[in-house]
Chain A
């Protein structure tokens, strides 16, 4: 799901060429929302009819208790929000680590050192060609016992390493997008390569990196669901637990999917605002 599908396309979004009338028609927020609603409605209707023919017993009224509860001792968050917080925490930690590793790999690759770029390219090829699930098993069943870390650490490392490969490419592209004249100007006032990156190059790359980075965060939040296979406490795992207790698989999976959708949408919209602000700040 991408924000631009809702007609909130960013200033740098490059839509495919379309005839002006159709373009205006599809770019209007109202039309986009309507189309979106129709599609969602059709899917909902389809599954409702399908479930009906299966003789599925809908029990939506039992879902709210997994969102929140008002007990004698007062208000209490349900399993789903607790799982969401765990997912966000897992994603944030993994993302920070992935960013650090990704930056390191990108700098190694751009360093011009033969060893540096060999290490970086080797790492990228390795990670890019192993399925995420297999990587998770490697960390949990193989590296975990060897180095003595638990399933939570294994999950964080898996997500961080997997996404660091993608993030390093974003950094590399962002750094390369800064004009070489900036390097020369930084060097010619005596800056070290570190200072040039820190004060001149990276601040300018941020502008190029924001959109793909957002995509990467969304991607990471979604792929974090995979750690439910080793029963790490997070949204998807909680969903599975609720279903094994209640057998309401349709209602719960719909709800969980919606929660992921809402979170990633909020993120995308937030960043597209940030992006506009950045563009104004830099005056170009």
Chain B
């Protein structure tokens, strides 16, 4: 795995919200095809970190290089970068005034300037991939939460992204819908996509992760392969956290 090209390289990254030190001295490398699962208590900076990876937040110091592009506030390449890096949000954030198909085609058509016919063909392919080809003409509000999140995944895939970021993709879902979304994510992982997933679904993490990351209070406290992470984490904090969520 480590011979592969680095897709995300974070060195000495710090991030402040005003006086609040949200990310502290982060170092992390994600290689092509690698699946990284990030977990940690609420407020530890997980969302902030992955939002830096597609320029929804800017770091204040340190270095962040994504797919060879250096990311910093005001970088000209940021829009090209965002086309490479897909993001799936906890709240889905589908466009409610557009149908499912339009949600999937608007990016390729307006941003990548692909023809409507071709964009729709791609959209239908990815709707198939997330198992809801029959929902193409509905509006997001007519779908269940699980279906909406799968549309959101397909929307990112339609941009032909090389990296996918997930910010707690299942935590807004009813329990019976969590698995349909996780299944799609597992299938996506099998295609060799580079993925960074913030989640507390440890079953998914065990199945998919190459690397586990545990964050606390803005720091990465533990980075280790899942076997070690789940059986013998080096930090006491991480052990306590795992005990807590695995007890559920």
Contact A203 B79 (CB under 8 A): no
Contact A181 B89 (CB under 8 A): yes
Residue of B nearest to A185 (CB): B93
Question: Is residue B106 contacting chain A, with contact meaning CB distance below 8 A?
Answer: yes
Contact A283 B111 (CB under 8 A): no
CA distance A62 to B87 in the complex (A): 72
CA distance A181 to B159 in the complex (A): 18
Contact B82 A188 (CB under 8 A): yes
CA distance A181 to B94 in the complex (A): 9
CA distance A186 to B93 in the complex (A): 9
Q: Tell me the B88-143 residues at the A interface (CB within 8 Å).
A: 89, 91, 93-97, 106-107, 110-112, 139, 141-142
Contact A283 B82 (CB under 8 A): no
Chain A binding surface, main DSSP class: helix
Contact B156 A189 (CB under 8 A): yes
> Interface size for chain B: under 10, 10 to 19, 20 to 34, or 35 or more residues?
20 to 34
CA distance A181 to B51 in the complex (A): 12
Set of chain B residues within 8 Å of A179, measured between Cβ atoms: 93
- Also in contact, A199 and B106, with CB within 8 A (given A189-B159, A190-B159): yes
Which of B83, B95, B142 contacts A185 (CB under 8 A)?
B95
Interface string of A232-274 (1 = CB under 8 A from B): 0000000000000000000000000000000000000000000
Chain B min CB distance to A206 (Å): 9
Contact B139 A283 (CB under 8 A): yes
- Also in contact, A191 and B111, with CB within 8 A (given A184-B89, A203-B97): yes
Greatest chain A CB density within 10 A among B86, B106, B141, B142 is at B106
Question: Is residue B70 contacting chain A, with contact meaning CB distance below 8 A?
Answer: no
Residue of B nearest to A184 (CB): B56
Set of chain A residues within 8 Å of B107, measured between Cβ atoms: 189-191
Binding site for B on A (CB under 8 A): 179, 181-182, 184-192, 195, 199-200, 203-204, 282-284
